[in-house]
Chain A
Amino acid sequence: MAKVLMKGNEAIAEAAINAGCLYYFGYPITPQTEISEYMAKRMPKVGGLCLQAESEIAAINMVLGASSGGTRAMTSSSSPGISLKSEGVSYLVGSDLPAVIVNVQRGGPGLGGIQPSQADYYQATKAYGHGDMHLIVLAPSTVQEMASLTGEAFDLADIYRTPVILLADGAIGQMMEPVDFSARTPRELPEKDWATRGHGGSRKHNIINSLYMNPEDLERTVEERYVRYRKIEAEEVKYDTFMTDDADIVCVAFGITARICHTAVTMARAKGIKAGLIRPITLWPFPNDAINTLADTAKAFLSVELSMGQMVTDVKLACGCRRPVDFYGRTGGVIPNPADVAKKLEAMASELGLRS
């Protein structure tokens, strides 16, 4: 299939439709409203539904309803709207329902700003909802990945019966790049025999529920879910590396920041600093083993984020604090230039005595 030039937000919407998503529930907020706009145009043409809900909370609960019926459903928002959805997300988890939730992050806290941010990392990876839970968190770094990881998100959600977060940012959402929608091969999916579909009395009815009055029953369902989480951690970690083989300093970055680091690494290399980059594609599960292995050869890590430093703690945990883990970031919607990151790498190289 020929490549098309598209905004990241539009690529998410088209990829969702390609993945068979028939229900999109949204509420407009910058910088992701193009998803709603695109869905409103396209969904009626493919026999699906795009509905602008009365609020983000309504939208996430509509996703819960649609998913209960066994259909693919999605919602999207940006940081403040994402917070509103958190109760519904926990209910989705507690009900073992697949769903795709897109967060095209903007600056926070509060209404914050409308420019790109990655400050919802903790929220997405640690505590998007109450209770013992994890979510699979995917972090696209190109418009192509906005498309392919959206398809992957739907598959993962169905395979593991869990909501999946696509954690993007305003820059990737707004930028255009060529994208090829035929690039991904869909995965083999389990039957949705749990769905509350009409069946003409042919089987016992299914119940979708997240309430357990008996603690032992609840403990058992949570433990069963954690068996799935262990499987996800073992089988679904995704990451990418760039020039890490001989790297003394390894940048760790995702989304738009990974691209800035990619250029910064090239700039640092031109100055004789052996820099490299590892880019987590799954933020949960985090590429702990890959980072720990890099700690055998690297002398230090640099976590680069559009926040005050969140993923940096996971990098420290991943390498068991065997190496110094430094941080560089801008927040509030400010994007650093590659030269800023390269300067930080130079300073680190001097501190580590790596410069001749």
Chain B
Amino acid sequence: MAKTTNILIAGFGGQGVLFAGKALAKMAMHNGLHVTWLPSYGPEMRGGAANCSVIISDDEIGSPLVPEPDILIALNIPSFDKFEPHVKSGGMIFVDSAMVDKKSARADVEAHYIPASRLASEEGLAGLANVIVLGHLLRVTGLFDYDAFLADLVSGIPASRSALVEGNTKALRIGFEY
């Protein structure tokens, strides 16, 4: 039986939902795994709801849809409300608890709370709450090796924007150590 992980990342447009999904997808591809990344599209860039579905599998992937995620990353209240009930039994939820003032009532899923956006603004890492959550996800799930993921994450950043390397590195570390 193929090992497949269905991930759903949801929040407002501008929170780096699509970027976080792409980082996971790219790492999976570099590990030789099959992967699909499917975004919601439309008016998201103007602050509407944004989400993306990422499927990582050691076998060919049919449908790229993720109606029932194994892992949900909820970065705002509407996303938490909408998708928390659909997480697979035995699945995991990662919540930006600085944005979502709620706890999961479900006993059959494992919920992890990290005040990512507060940590980001405290550390001067505006816009990197998504990476903080990814760091935390790496530690909890062990989905990918931390060092490999970090190298992959910063590999696409051009030398002229080296401050981003520093910011992403710091953000991933904060989440990992939280």
Q: Which residues on A are within 8 Å of B, measured CB to CB?
A: 3, 5, 30-31, 114-115, 170-171, 174-178, 256, 259-264, 266, 335, 337-339
Contacts and interface: CB of A to CB of B under 8 A. Distances in A.
B39 A262 contact: no
Interface of B: 22, 25-26, 29, 34-39, 41-42, 61-65, 67
B37 to A, nearest CB: 4
A264 B39 CA distance: 21
B41 A170 contact: yes
Nearest to A258: B62
Given A174-B41, A177-B37, A262 B63 contact: yes
A337 B37 contact: no
Give the top 9 A-B pairs by smallest Cβ distance, nearest first.
A262-B62, A263-B62, A176-B37, A263-B63, A175-B38, A260-B63, A178-B29, A337-B67, A338-B63
A5 B19 CA distance: 13
Contact of B36 (A176, A262, A338): A176
A176 B65 contact: no
A260 B62 contact: yes
B141 to A, nearest CB: 21
Contacts of B61: 259
A260 B63 CA distance: 4
A31 B41 contact: yes
B98 to A, nearest CB: 29
A317 to B, nearest CB: 27
A171 B38 contact: yes
A176 B41 CA distance: 13
B62 A176 contact: no
B26 A114 contact: no
Given A175-B37, A337-B67, 15 more contacts: A3-B29, A5-B25, A114-B41, A170-B41, A174-B41, A175-B38, A176-B22, A176-B37, A177-B35, A178-B34, A259-B61, A260-B65, A261-B62, A335-B65, A338-B65
